[in-house]
Copies of this chain bind each other. A is one copy, B any other.
Amino acid sequence: MSKTEVPYKIYLTEDEMPKAWYNLRADMKNKPAPLMNPGTHKPMTAEELGGVFCDELVKQELDDTTPFIEIPEEIRNFYKMYRPSPLVRAYCLEEKLQTPAKIYYKFEGNNTSGSHKLNSAIAQAYYAKKQGLKGVTTETGAGQWGTALSMACAYLGLDCKVYMVKVSYEQKPFRREVMRTYGASVVPSPSETTEVGKKILAEHPGTTGSLGCAISEAVEVAVKNPGYRYVLGSVLNQVLLHQSVIGLEAKTALDKYGIKPDIVIGCAGGGSNLGGLIAPFMGEKLRGEADYRIIAVEPASCPSFTRGTFAYDFCDTGMICPLAKMYTLGSSFIPSANHAGGLRFHGMSTTLSQLYHDGFMEATSVEQTSVFEAAEMFARIEGILPAPESSHAIRVAIDEALKCKETGEEKTIVFGLTGTGYFDLVAYQKYNDGEMSDYIPTDEEIAASVAKLPKVE
């Protein structure tokens, strides 16, 4: 396929945009293990989940057989405001690297939340609104999810309470201002506003927080306030379902030009982007229709796939959420404070965990200085300042392209550029000043938090 044939950016028409989400679980022989009640150690029922989540979302969470679930028209119309997102051919990067590889990236950053998170935020807010709720609560790490949810709630007129991991709250003052502009209230976590927050603060004074803590707080507030439910931006099956719009668009765009990727690469924190991007490719793989190398990239400082244990664990630090069977570092694991690159969650989507366990995908971990090196290079060549999260995928995409240079193979690489780094300038400043360091947890550290995993038969 020559330069003149494939444009720099492939945009679908509105007609070509997906009308249904793809539910990857329907094609899995080994289904992801069900969420479990932390008290009874029995699978969570729809009724139990309904106390925390919106009803329609509970249905989606539990449905592992329906392959396609229609996207309501209102959500499709909202998608049209910022989607389709472009599939970009990285001609300039290829030229700079002098690689025979063909590099594509699906760019999800062209919206104010700055990432793919909006795809699920609008869906979750829509179902909350439809259920007649007053508002939703959530946690946010780097701030992408909180911003996305604020935008969705502002659009639909829902109240939005965001618990933001303290280290991000301090490093990203402008993130909270965006959320405020969209009418959300933002609380640094752990906080004194919840019982679980008080407990965590008492046990770990001076903690910089974690997604696990923030989830506990947000869930507590949702459960205690009538008319509120909790929503989550990653990990859950429903989130991967909504995010399948990324992969579906990417696949349609590639198909239009007859392109079949060899490698699909995504960064992985809780798995929302990765699960969404790879969905239709993984589907073909599961059905034996095609083969792809699928690579999850995680930070070396929070390596749940590559160094975690596949077991039931709490999704939150406060241990009030259902248990999920996943690759986990233990719910008490808190990434080093020097880690600036997002992807801080201790566990991983149950769906992706099962697929990884069954050998359908690979995982690798990268250190943050090399991630920012790739980020800066990408920014200067491709003109987009990437989010640190997304830059994990850039790092590995570049490495794979350089391998092609050595071997002379003309592989086609697709990676997910999940978002922009416009609110991550404190981290970039650190990198620019040469003050960024790497941290790899010791085996002892990981063993210590894994030792606290709940005992489940």
Contact = CB atoms under 8 A, between A and B. Distances in A.
A383 B151 contact: yes
B177 A81 contact: no
A389 B181 CA distance: 17
Instruction: Classify the secondary structure of A's interface with B.
Output: helix
B425 A178 contact: yes
B110 A110 contact: yes
A178 to B, nearest CB: 6
A134 interface: no
Given A14-B7, A423-B422, A111 B384 contact: yes
A144 B422 CA distance: 13
Contacts of A423: 422
Contact of A380 (B154, B173, B420, B422): B154
Given A14-B7, A177-B429, A381 B80 contact: no
Contacts of A81: 8, 88, 92, 382-383
Contacts of A327: none
Interface string A1-38: 00000011101011000000000000000000000000
A257 interface: no
A176 to B, nearest CB: 9
Interface string A105-118: 00000111010000
Contacts of A382: 81
A241 B380 CA distance: 25
A110 B85 CA distance: 11
Contact of A383 (B11, B112, B181, B383): B112
Contact of A7 (B13, B151, B422): B13
Contacts of A292: none
Interface string A324-357: 0000000000000000000000000000000000
Nearest to A92: B81
Given A7-B80, A8-B81, A183-B380, A178 B385 contact: yes
A182 interface: yes
Interface in A84-98: 88, 91-92
Contacts of A78: 383
Report, as a range, how many residues of chain A touch the other chain: 35 or more
**Could you say which of A9, A88, A111 has the most chain B C-beta atoms within 10 Å of its C-beta?**
A9
A145 to B, nearest CB: 16
Contact of A8 (B80, B91, B181): B80
A66 interface: no
A68 interface: no
B380 A155 contact: yes
B432 A177 contact: yes
Contacts of A384: 111-112
Contacts of A383: 78, 81-82, 111-112, 151, 155
Interface string A399-425: 000000000000000000000101101
Contact of A420 (B112, B177, B425): B112
A379 interface: yes
Interface in A173-212: 173-174, 177-178, 180-183
A112 B383 CA distance: 7
**Could you say which of A78, A110, A376, A428 has the most chain B C-beta atoms within 10 Å of its C-beta?**
A110
A267 to B, nearest CB: 19
8 contacts: A7-B14, A81-B382, A111-B383, A112-B383, A174-B425, A177-B432, A178-B422, A178-B425
